[in-house]
């Protein structure tokens, strides 16, 4: 049960990060935030989909490792790889 809660919490963090990182892109792509969290939760259960999230975070990290977004992306990446 703990893993379920960790994944749900991480999905919410990723959704928040995505919205904060690219607000207008997020708003263009997402009409229902709760649905986005549900979809992200499902992606985190699938190792292949999880890898695509890690790849997205890696792109943000590689832009500038000292940038606040890269630091936050690194934290989220660590949480994903710990699953």
pLDDT at 78: 98
Helix, coil or strand: residue 29: helix
Give the residue among 24, 16, 9 at the shortest CA–CA distance from 73. 16
Q: What predicted TM-score, i.e. pTM, was given to this entire model?
A: 0.91
Angle at 66 between CA 64 and CA 68, to 5 degrees: 95
Give per-residue pLDDT as tens, 29-66: 999 999 999 999 999 999 999 999 999 999 999 987 77
Average the pLDDT over 6-29 and give the result.
96
Q: Is the CB of residue 76 less than 8 Å from the CB of residue 13?
A: yes
Percent of the chain scoring above 90 in pLDDT:
94
pLDDT at 22: 94
């Amino acid at each position: 049960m703990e893993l379920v809660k960790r994944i749900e919490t991480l999905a919410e963090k990723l959704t928040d990060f995505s919205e904060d990182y690219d607000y207008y892109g997020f708003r263009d792509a997402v009409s229902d935030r709760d649905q986005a969290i549900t979809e992200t939760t499902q992606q985190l259960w699938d190792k292949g989909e999880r890898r695509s999230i890690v790849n997205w975070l890696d792109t943000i990290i590689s832009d500038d490792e000292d940038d606040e977004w890269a630091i936050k992306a690194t934290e989220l990446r660590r949480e994903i790889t710990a699953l």
